[in-house]
Amino acid sequence: MQIGQMEVEAVAEKARKKKKDVVLRGSLYTMRRKCGKENCRCADGDPHETPALSYWVRGKPKLLTLRPEDVPVVKGGIEAYRRQKAELDERSERDVAALKAELEQRRASGGGRK
């Protein structure tokens, strides 16, 4: 047991980076287009497909085109966002319910004001 805490943290950080632990609010989108060349396969209705991340910044839609190898990381990031948002929403619901219960109790025991 010679590994110091600093080293442990450095290793953990490296692992996080390698896994590309990202959180992305958006959705995966497949761009389909024709390149315009007459003899290309896309002229016969087999369009070129490019993966992209669609997201919003201050109410404006944005599209970030991706390389195929980015797709797994982006999917993971979108999933991580959904999961964490769901957890946060649940926590908020519980806390609002607790606050409401506390206020009602205080009102009941305090008496008088309605």
Q: With respect to Zn ion, which residue has the nearer C-beta, 42 or 71? A: 42
Q: With respect to Zn ion, which residue has the nearer C-beta, 45 or 110? A: 45
- Count the site residues for Zn ion by CB under 5 A: 3
Q: Whose CA is closest to 32, among 55, 50, 10?
A: 50
The CA distances from residue 110 to 99, 105, 106, 113, 114, in Å, are 16, 8, 6, 8, 10
Site map (CB under 5 A) of Zn ion, residues 24-43, x = contact: -----------x----x-x-
Query: Where does this chain bind Zn ion (CB under 5 A)?
Result: 35, 40, 42
